Structure 1
Amino acid sequence: MSDAAPSAPDRSPLQKWARIWLNRPTLLAAIAVGILVSLGLALAPNPLKWSTRAILSWDAGALWFILAMMRHMTGSGIAHMEATADQQDEGRGLILTVVMIACAISIAAITAELGLAKSTHGVMKVMHVSLAGVTVAVSWFVMQLVFALHYAHRYYSPDELPGSRGRARGLRFPGGEDPDYWDFLHFSVVIGTAAQTADIEFTSKPLRRIGTVHSLIAFTFNTVVLALSINLLASLA
């Protein structure tokens, strides 16, 4: 940022909010995909139930986001991660909140979809149950992916301590090599499955607190997924 650019406090809340979203074109594109799918389904000759439309729209946007981020992660080296970390992690609280709310809404839609499955038979029952199962997996992975990106951006963002010129870090990786996005995804998936860390350690309070929140969300989500899985099996019976 040049010296002529306004400092963060000088920007209006609207400008800051707009910048947060404009810095995330992949997320905006995913939201647009979900909206377009929703509109297309709503205008169809035989509109689907709201839960089915919601699930299909969420799955479309979420899968777009996953595939686009996989491509981004594959093509991003350490230098790029360092150069964009601070910008990408701006508004992290807002983005995490939005994604968690979206995941919660998807779970509500899944519950409604399973209710529809109980009132159908044959192929339609299998379709409803399969759609619910896919959505559970997609929602879980989106959550781990968003946390992985957050861990990566916090790790490579400039250290905010006075006089420091290094990275914020906050995590210790074995092997001594600089971690890439896939290392952070591994870290996030471990927490998402076990609600605890494995070979990577927290070394700072800010990231440890985020890890605690991640573990609590993961435990809650996994408990809900277990309940839904039992419901899925019961629906097929």
Structure 2
Amino acid sequence: MADTSPNNPLQRHKQFFVSLAVGLVVFAAVFPLIGSLPVSTRLAYSISIAADSFFVVFIALVIAKMPLLSGRYLSKNARELDLPVLGIFAITLGIVAMAIVLLFLLINHKDRDPIELGFAMLSIPLGWFTIHAMAALHYAHVYWMDGDAIDTETKKKMPIGGLDFPGSKRPDGWDFLYFATVIGMTAQTADTAITTSHMRRVVLVHSILSFFFNAVIVAAVVNLAVSLGN
């Protein structure tokens, strides 16, 4: 398969834009379809289903692209493949935050609808994996960016690196997704060493975000158990 670099921002970040478009279309379609319900209930349903759609499409697109993200491809196109952290990541966090707030409101609502609650609960694990999938793409970008060191054989700039994966092959998309997921699940690096200050800063931000997200998940489970018990 030929290595081709995306040519424009829409192409580079199409996973996000396609997912966002699907979420907006789903929201616009669901809201009028349930017009017989109260406005607050219609909003809750529409936001939950739209958020779930955004998460599912993004995850599916990232996983579908994984076979393309070989070490060779990433080494040539890492700069183009990165997501604009402050923009896209902020929007995604906003969607996740809305889903979390909605879930807690539904958990503590006496007349909650089970289906409505189910969609809201589904958004939590989907949002969790979406954030770590985005982090994986950013790790790949940071790792494969050109550094200052020059390869004595090729006379080309060597990548910054920062992660020492076991084995001798160049890390690919699955390696970075594995690393991001391990950070998200365990808050530790398992079998992968962090070797640069730049990468440590990235991992620090990711770890703090993961800690608070995991705390929210635990709080939601406890809150739901108490609510059902009452």
Distance 2:189 2:43 in 1: 38
* Aligned match for 1:223, one of 176, 191, 215: 215
1:213 to 188, 201, 205: 205
Match status 1:129 vs 2:117: yes
Question: Paired residue for 1:168?
Answer: 160
Q: TM-score, normalised by structure 2?
A: 0.84
Match of 2:5 in 1: none
Shift of 1:72: 0.4
Q: Which amino acid aligns with 2:58?
A: F
Q: CA-to-partner distance for each residue in 1:67-117, whole Å, 9 max, x for gaps? A: 11110013332222222211122633323222222222221122223234x
Q: Choose from 38, 48, 52 the match for 2:27.
A: 38
Taking the TM superposition and a 5 Å limit, the aligned residue runs for 1:5-154 are 19-44=8-33, 45-46=35-36, 48-89=41-82, 91-116=84-109, 118-120=110-112, 124-125=113-114, 127-154=115-142
C-alpha separation in 2, matches of 1:52 and 1:234: 23
For 1:88 and 1:178, the matched residues in 2 are separated by 17
Q: Please tell me the residue identity of whatever aligns with 1:112.
A: L
Give the % identical residues: 28
Structure 1 residue 162: Cα displacement: 6.7
* Unaligned residue ranges in structure 2 (runs of 5+): 1-7, 151-155
The CA RMSD over aligned residues, in Å, is: 2.0
Question: Matched residue of 1:175: which SS?
Answer: coil
Note the C-alpha offset of 1:158.
1.8
Say how many residue pairs are matched.
213
Measured in 2, the distance between the counterparts of 1:101 and 1:185 equals 22
Kindly provide the amino acid, as one letter, of the partner of residue 198 in structure 2: P
How does 1:152-191 map onto structure 2 within 5 Å? 152-159=140-147, 161=148, 165-191=157-183
| Unaligned 5+ runs, structure 1 | 1-18
- Larger mean Cα displacement after TM superposition, 129-138 or 166-175: 129-138
User: What is the CA-CA distance between 1:41 and the residue it aligns to?
Assistant: 1.3
- CA offset at residue 152 of structure 1? 1.1
